[in-house]
A and B are shown apart, each in its own frame.
Chain A
Amino acid sequence: MKLPIYLDYQATTPVDPRVLTAMLPWFTEKFGNPASRSHPYGWEAEQAVETAREQVAALIGADPREIVFTSGATESDNLAITGVARFNRARGDHIITLVTEHKAVLDTCRHLEADEGFRVTYLPVEPSGLVDLQRLAAAITDQTILVSIMAVNNEVGVIQPLAEIGALCRARKVYFHCDAAQGVGKIPLDVDKMNIDLLSISAHKIYGPKGIGALYVRRRPRVRLKALIHGGGHERGMRSGTLSTPLIVGLGAACAFSQQEMPAESRRLLALRQRLYEGITARLTHVGVNGDLEQRVPGNLNLSFGYVEGESLMMAIKDVAVSSGSACTSASLEPSYVLRAMGVGEEMAHTSIRFGLGRQTTDEEVKFVIDKVVTAVEKLRDMSPLWDMVQEGIDPSTVQWSGH
Chain B
Amino acid sequence: MSYNDKVLDHYENPRNVGVLDKNDDRVGTGMVGAPACGDVMRLQIRVNDQGVIDDAKFKTFGCGSAIASSSLVTEWIKGKTLDEALAIKNTQVAEELALPPVKIHCSVLAEDAIKSAIQDYRRKQQAKE
Residues of A whose CB lies within 8 Å of any CB of B are: 307-309, 311-312, 315, 326-328, 331, 333, 335, 345-347, 350, 382-388, 396-397, 401-404
Contact = CB atoms under 8 A, between A and B. Distances in A.
B76 interface: no
B59 A383 contact: yes
Given A327-B38, A331-B102, A388-B59, A312 B64 contact: yes
Contacts of A402: 32-34
B3, B35, B39, B63 interface centre (most CB from chain A within 10 Å)? B35
Interface of B: 3, 8, 11, 14, 17, 19, 31-42, 58-67, 102, 105, 108-109, 112
A120 B90 CA distance: 44
Given A309-B39, A383-B17, A385-B41, A404 B62 contact: no
Nearest to B3: A315
Q: Which 4 interchain pairs have the tightest Cβ spacing?
A: A401-B34, A347-B35, A346-B36, A385-B42
14 contacts: A309-B62, A311-B64, A312-B66, A328-B62, A328-B65, A335-B38, A350-B35, A383-B60, A384-B60, A385-B41, A385-B60, A386-B40, A396-B40, A403-B34
Contacts of B60: 383-385
Contacts of A401: 33-36, 40
Given A312-B66, A401-B34, A403-B33, 12 more contacts: A309-B62, A311-B63, A312-B67, A326-B63, A331-B102, A346-B37, A347-B35, A385-B40, A385-B41, A387-B61, A402-B34, A403-B34
Contacts of B38: 309, 326-328, 335, 346, 350
A315 B62 CA distance: 11
Contacts of A403: 33-34, 36-37
Given A307-B61, A311-B64, A333 B36 contact: no
A333 B100 CA distance: 13
A404 B105 contact: yes
Contacts of A312: 11, 62-64, 66-67
Given A350-B35, A385-B40, A388-B19, A309 B63 contact: yes
B34, B61, B105 interface centre (most CB from chain A within 10 Å)? B61
A387 B17 CA distance: 14
B37 A404 contact: yes
A404 B66 CA distance: 13
A402 to B, nearest CB: 7
A311 B8 CA distance: 13
Contacts of A345: 36
B109 A404 contact: yes
Nearest to A346: B36
B102 A309 contact: no
Given A312-B11, A312-B67, A386-B40, A404 B34 contact: yes
A401 B64 CA distance: 21
B3, B19, B32, B40 interface centre (most CB from chain A within 10 Å)? B40
Contact of A397 (B35, B61, B62, B65): B35
B35 A386 contact: yes
A402 B67 CA distance: 19
A201 B8 CA distance: 40
Contacts of B112: 404
A267 to B, nearest CB: 37
B61 A384 contact: yes
Given A388-B19, A404-B109, A315 B61 contact: no
A327 B37 CA distance: 8
Contacts of B109: 404
Given A385-B42, A386-B35, A396-B35, A315 B64 contact: yes
Contact of B36 (A311, A347, A383): A347
Contacts of B31: 385
A347 B61 CA distance: 11
A340 B14 CA distance: 32
A307 B38 CA distance: 10
A50 B94 CA distance: 58
Nearest to B11: A315
A345 B109 CA distance: 22
A311, A327, A396 interface centre (most CB from chain B within 10 Å)? A311
A309 B41 CA distance: 12
Nearest to B17: A383
